[in-house]
Structure 1
Amino acid sequence: MSLNWKEIDRILEELDLPDTHIQEVVQPDFTSLVLTLYRPGNRFRLLTSFDGAHTRLNRTERRFTKPRTAQRFAQFLSSRVKGGRIVSAAQIDRDRIVRMKVVRGGETSVIWIRLWGNAGNMIVTDADGTILDAFYRRPKRNEVTGGRFPPEEKPKRTSARLEEFEVRPIPDGQSLNATIDAEYGEKHDERALENEKKRVRALLTARIARLDARLSAVESAPDTVDDAVRFREIGDLIAANAHTIGPRDEWLSAEDFYHDNAPVEIPIDPALSPGENAERYYAMYKKAAERSKTRGQDVANLRARRDQAQADLDSIESLSIDELRNRFPPRAMKLEAKAAETPGLKYDSNGYTILVGRTATENDTLLRRHVRGNDVWLHTRDYPGGYVFVKSKPGKSVPLEVLLDAGTLALVYSKARKSGRADLYYTFVKHLRRAKGAKLGTVLPTHEKNLVVTLDPARVRRLTGSADVDE
């Protein structure tokens, strides 16, 4: 239940706002605003809430988290009245509208606080009544910058009807401000907790669905290089029968010389030439072959992340609102839908985290978003390959064994893999410089050191859990 006019008068009387100064403006969420007010010997917070049936204005002892980035209205109000002095504050015509006059440096602002349940709003005007900004911008009410407030007067309710309202019971020795703060604060906490649970539940449910989809896609990919070889065979068939393909053909009918000349129908892209269609299948073979080598690690990583998300979902009911916000920050949740999770592969070596990029895009994303200046970067010399990063620990050097593990992974995920041995160089990420005009992910290292790595199947098995190593 919102405050009635008698309660608003009582609250303003207890607050005694004239001659207080506005020290800080905080908008913790989309329904409330907190002013920190000060007069000699008395510093307190004034809460204005537009939370539907709990719309209110009262002194509060509750603490509110200040957002990292201030909301639009809070930024405006700070620039306009922070440091100003409240000259007067009173309810207008018993209409649940509070008029607060603020003076700062000879400039007068009027803050109108309308405590009308779902129609509540805070509107700031200049001394002439021109709207400067509003907590909620409502064009249909003309509550936008440049409008006028208050609007034309409406017929007033009869005095008899107004006199029916009473101030709610107040415990002995307690002010109405304290009563309202305790009563509505508890309800606010309950709703806030339920809203946080709802938000986190939706986030984790969506995360599990995404991981299930990715897991299904990885598990349905070719299990072995032999399965992926079929793409190469199809490319060969297209190349061998290129002379039979017409300009608008969408299918190629041919004899499969890899399988006893059995008839086969091959889908082709009519927008591409026969040679380009063959190259497309060769590229699919190459991609599938590379993917099959890391399939086991990909599946393990996805299953571990899926299990963790499910465990988080199961634990929601036992968490407090602070625990929910700390473990699942709202800002991170919004960014998660837009930004991919850590790309590439992730390994552990003696407590150190090793990140591996397998493509130019993964290399670039890791470099831009997931590593810092003191992390170590490794790459093969004279061979194309993935970037490998070792996440550093404050005050510690990367041990030789960890460096050898990272070097082995750099060799495994490079064109030097078949040779079984490669020269690598490594340096701190802060010594990398992106090459202008070069391909995505290309960097120019400085202060680099050399490392020679020979492929050790036992080390690879320990790191990846796979025996798929050319011995």
Structure 2
Amino acid sequence: MAISLEHLSQVLSELKPALIKGKIQKISQPLPESISFEIRRPGQTVTLYISTHPQTARIHALTQRLPNPTTPPQFCQYLRSHILGAQIEHVVQVPDDRVVWFELSVKHVTQYLVIALTGRSANLFLVNHKHEVVRSLKPDSQSAQRIQNYFNTGQKQNREDPDTDSPSEASSRSFPISAMLEQTFHDLEQNQAQRQLQEQQLAALRKAMKKAQRRVNSLTQDLEKAQRYCEYGRYGELLKGQLGQIKRGQSHVTLIDYYDEHLPELTLPLDPTKDPTWNLNDYFRKYRKFTGAQRKVLPRLEQAQAELAKLTEDFQAAERGEMKPPEFPKPKPPTSPRASKTQKTALPYRRYISEDGFSILVGKSAKDNDAVTFKVSKQDDMWLHARGTPGSHVIIELEKKKQVPPETLKDAATLALFYSDLRKSGKGEVIYTLRNNVRKPKGAKPGSVTVTQEKTTWVYVDEARLKRLKDSVPSMITD
């Protein structure tokens, strides 16, 4: 159930005074299909939450902080690089549609955030001043035409924004519509998560029940086969008393059953190709199959039947919604201080974000260079190194057959030069090639590689570029 047109209009009317002229201070992506913006105006800070999930697409203010991934996704990184610190100039809703666009001012350049809360096609777009889509949260093959239609329709709306709050008014303003939507969608997502968990648990229990049933059937068949030999111990004892009278070639022998009070005659089959002793031992061997099954197979069958009964009980409880929390094994404590230290191994690289939102990895040492190049990176990534001098291996993480934007290549080359022995000179030549063209010679020292099909670029260490790269990941410690 995505947000309704009526609720969208209400929540925008409620939030506009607190958003207009506000600045975007923080950008987070708590879930794959959602983005949150922390917007600051004098006297008040509002956390705006946008979800593009087909079933729960909505926009409202948040009262609770949501957890965020340790490493932000690429779309979030791109937004941080391009609209962090932007001021919201206008908030426009497309008439009779669940589409909103924010006009942003970023360093005297106009950009737009277009928020489409339209069910399955819900998405979030970053659009430049020419109304061209720069990035989108989710892939959208028809985004260009859709965006143009949104703007053409939205321009017809009166763009007079409401009066913004004064600092004293902002500090006391509340958002009841947002609070209602937040609670409603929280309950809906909780119910959906509960149903999904129930379905997953039922599916897992069905699979476990089928496996347990097959095991019960297999053990039952084994026990039934062995049950045929339950009297063979008695037959062997009777045959033992007549062993001297049996000749090779007999197909059967007739005996008196002394274990029966009526003393009936009993005919036992024999293998005529075997001697009497072999036939006697064969009867006892088959009897041991029966006793072995009683000793080993029967307890396993009883255990399997108990497991099947327990799984059936759990399945019935899950169907009624009486789900039990999953049991996780308790983690084993480290056996020694050294073991606990090895669990906190540092990454072999520094991570930066380029102007275009691409991840750039820089090896920390010669040994780490080998790890970054031959363990962390992929064949289609771009590899860089300062020419003719010791330095870090630099990797631009790319999707398959993805081209490197010029600014990203300059960013990576600057880092390759900065983390090399050419750092003091501030200029030099950097080689680059696909990671697939880099090889490690047998017996070579750590960090030593051979490169083919390389290209070169001449770069200077631009302090402004370097500062932007260092600031691209605030939590990162650089030297």
What's the TM-score, normalizing by structure 1?
Answer: 0.42
Structure 1 or 2, whichever has the larger Rg, is: 2
Greater RCO (CA < 8 Å, at least 6 residues apart): 2
What's the TM-score, normalizing by structure 2?
Answer: 0.42
